[in-house]
């Protein structure tokens, strides 16, 4: 009864979903505290106090229309607050008219892909990438063109991107700090990407998926994509920086330097409506306005990153500490990363094979988990390392 395409896609399933199901099976068998689940990217810190207080105030707010429909772009005052923040971050004069509030970063990406793609238009993805991009591109009739990052640096390979460009290339999705690699794309790389794209004979729009942009460690800064790229739309959310993934609140910002930027934002707002989102959740738009400069205590994530990295390094795994995001991306000691993930599951350690991000030979572990999970997993990692002759 359901569409063949969806039946096929559901049959294949995502590797994260499979790990999730395996995790539930193991937790039922051994008890939740005996399973070391690093598979899901669900931030486990609670939202900052500023968010909770804003929410309490707003729930009791007597102003009429708090829960009403509004412009499809979102409340004007909220968009002003977002524009102000991005003006400060980029040094560019961003206005409320360039901002559209969305249903998470996923909603922002879907709005933009719908706004940009004619059937058969190509979208470049830089592997490793967040696997849902494939569905989002397919949703809007596009064709994904995969370009692997450099295997040594895990940074985008500009020469390979140049080779992948065609007359049908409409967009490129970038994601920094990256899920899953944790790499922050440096400013020089963004500027060279800009030069490369501007040298083409047609417009190619960069969709910069930035939900992890505030999660940078060791004093690293994430360069502003609005400052470094001209034809860019920022697609982002407060899912990770304010620990609000379930509230589905995000936004997109069309750079004032984009060609036809007025038309582009109008199209994005129109797509917000016709995709059925209509507008971003009303109450949480107001929360964002009131807590625009808040963020979770990232020192806690930094500490867990260090703890988990130490556990893995001591066991003999090979990895670079990620500069940002919520994930470690060590080399798989078995070239077959899917087999390695299955072996880890036998030790009740759940992680996601790099193949799930179209980058085999690695595995992804989310460190946004309780410290006790990391501490208690050490013996299991030692046992896995012995099995693979790492120690
Ligand atoms: C790279 C990346 N992009 C987009 C999303 C979706 O974000 P949101 O939940 O805000 O829609 C995620 C969620 O994990 C992600 O990791």
Q: Give yes or no: residues 262 and 192 share one domain.
A: yes
Ligand 1: centre distance to CA 243 (Å): 12
CA-proximal residue: ligand 1, atom 2 (nearest) = 130
Residues in Cβ contact with 139 at an 8 Å cutoff, skipping those fewer than 6 apart? 110, 113, 114
Among positive and negative, which fits the CA dihedral 239, 241, 244, 247?
negative
> How many folded domains does the chain comprise?
2
Percent of the chain with pLDDT over 90: 90
Pocket of ligand 1 (CB under 6 A): 41, 104-106, 130, 175, 179, 209, 211, 237, 239, 245, 250
Atom in ligand 1 nearest the alpha carbon of residue 250: 10
Q: What is the pLDDT of residue 177?
A: 98
Q: Give yes or no: residues 70 and 34 share one domain.
A: no
Q: What is the 3-state secondary structure (H, E, C) of 27-89?
A: HHHHCHHHCEECCCCCCCCCCCHHHHHHHHHHHCCCCCCCCCCCCCCCCHHHHHHHHHHHHHH
CATH number at residue 174: 3.40.640.10
CA-proximal residue: ligand 1, atom 13 (nearest) = 41
Q: Give yes or no: residues 150 and 84 share one domain.
A: yes
**pLDDT digit string, tens, across residues 92-108:** 999 999 999 999 999 99
Q: How many residues would you count in the chain?
A: 391
Q: Give yes or no: residues 283 and 347 share one domain.
A: no
Q: Which two tokens stand for residue 237?
A: 């959310």
DSSP annotation string for 161-215: HHHH--TTEEEEEEESS-TTT-PPPPHHHHHHHHHHHHTSSS--EEEEE-TTTT-
Ligand 1: centre distance to CA 239 (Å): 8
Output the CA angle 158-328-103, nearest 5 degrees.
75
**pLDDT digit string, tens, across residues 195-249:** 999 999 999 999 999 999 999 999 999 999 999 999 999 999 999 999 999 999 9
pTM to 2 decimal places: 0.96
CATH number at residue 347: 3.90.1150.10
Atom in ligand 1 nearest the alpha carbon of residue 239: 10
Query: Dihedral of the CA atoms 229, 224, 246, 364 (nearest 10)?
Result: 90
Confidence of residue 13 (pLDDT cuts 50, 70, 90): low
Task: Indicate the residue among 290, 317, 344 that finishes a domain.
Answer: 290
Q: Is 251 helix (H, G, I), strand (E, B) or coil?
A: strand
Q: Give yes or no: residues 261 and 183 share one domain.
A: yes
CB neighbour class for 38 (10 Å; exposed up to 12, middle 13-18, buried from 19): buried
Pocket test for ligand 1, best of 237, 238, 242, 244 (most atoms within 8 A of CB): 237
Ligand 1: centre distance to CA 168 (Å): 26
Write out the residue range of the structural domain in which residue 97 sits. Answer: 49-290
Print burial letters for 240-267: b (CB count within 10 Å at least 16), e (below 16): bbbbbbebbbbbbbbbbebeebeebbbb
Query: Dihedral of the CA atoms 159, 164, 166, 171 (nearest 10)?
Result: -100
Q: Give yes or no: residues 242 and 374 share one domain.
A: no
Q: Give yes or no: residues 42 and 175 share one domain.
A: no
Ligand 1: centre distance to CA 104 (Å): 7
Q: Give yes or no: residues 196 and 284 share one domain.
A: yes
Instruction: Judge whether residue 250 has pLDDT over 80.
Output: yes
Ligand 1: centre distance to CA 111 (Å): 14
Ligand 1: centre distance to CA 387 (Å): 34
Q: Give yes or no: residues 43 and 53 share one domain.
A: no
Percent of the chain with pLDDT over 70: 99
Q: Is 362 helix (H, G, I), strand (E, B) or coil?
A: strand
Q: What is the pLDDT of residue 23?
A: 83
Specify whether the CB–CB gap between 259 and 16 falls below 8 A. no
Q: Give yes or no: residues 158 and 256 share one domain.
A: yes
**What value does the mean pLDDT take over residues 33-57?**
93
Instruction: Judge whether residue 22 has pLDDT over 90.
Output: no
Average pLDDT of every residue of the chain = 95
Task: Indicate the residue among 240, 275, 290 that finishes a domain.
Answer: 290
Q: Give yes or no: residues 144 and 107 share one domain.
A: yes
Q: What is the pLDDT of residue 15?
A: 72
Q: Give yes or no: residues 146 and 121 share one domain.
A: yes
Task: Indicate the residue among 264, 290, 316 that finishes a domain.
Answer: 290
């Amino acid at each position: 009864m359901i569409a063949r395409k969806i039946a096929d896609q559901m049959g294949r399933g995502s590797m994260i979903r499979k790990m999730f199901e395996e995790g539930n099976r193991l937790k039922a068998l051994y008890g939740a505290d005996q399973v070391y689940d690093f598979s899901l990217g669900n931030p486990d810190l609670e939202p900052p106090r500023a968010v909770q207080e804003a929410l309490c105030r707003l729930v009791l707010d007597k102003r009429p229309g708090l829960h009403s429909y509004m412009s499809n772009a979102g409340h004007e005052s909220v968009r002003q607050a977002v524009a102000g923040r991005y003006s400060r971050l980029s040094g560019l004069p961003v206005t409320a008219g360039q901002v559209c509030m969305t249903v998470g970063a996923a909603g922002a990406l879907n709005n933009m892909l719908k706004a940009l793609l004619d059937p058969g238009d190509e979208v470049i993805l830089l592997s490793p990438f967040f696997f849902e991009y494939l569905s989002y591109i397919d949703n809007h009739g596009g064709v994904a063109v995969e370009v692997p990052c450099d295997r040594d640096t895990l940074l985008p390979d500009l020469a390979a991107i140049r080779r992948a460009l065609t007359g049908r290339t409409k967009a490129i999705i970038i994601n920094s700090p990256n899920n899953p690699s944790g790499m922050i794309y440096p400013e020089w790389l963004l500027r060279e990407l800009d030069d490369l794209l501007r040298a083409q004979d047609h417009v190619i729009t960069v969709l910069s998926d930035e939900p992890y942009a505030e999660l940078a460690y060791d004093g690293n800064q994430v360069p502003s994509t609005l400052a470094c790229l001209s034809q860019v739309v920022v697609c982002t959310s407060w899912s990770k920086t304010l620990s609000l993934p379930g509230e589905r609140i995000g936004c997109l910002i069309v750079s004032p330097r984009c060609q036809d930027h007025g038309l582009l934002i109008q199209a994005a707002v129109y797509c917000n409506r016709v995709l059925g989102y209509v507008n971003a959740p009303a109450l949480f738009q107001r929360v964002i306005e009131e807590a625009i400069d808040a963020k979770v205590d990232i020192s806690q994530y930094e500490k867990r990153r260090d703890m988990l990295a130490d556990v893995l390094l001591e066991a003999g795994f090979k990895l670079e500490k990620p500069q940002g995001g919520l994930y470690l991306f060590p080399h798989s000691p078995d070239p077959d990363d899917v087999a390695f993930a299955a072996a880890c599951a036998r030790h009740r350690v759940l992680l996601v094979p790099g193949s799930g991000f179209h980058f085999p030979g690695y595995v992804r572990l989310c460190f946004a988990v309780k410290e006790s999970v990391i501490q208690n997993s050490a013996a299991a990692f030692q046992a896995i390392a012995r099995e693979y002759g790492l120690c």
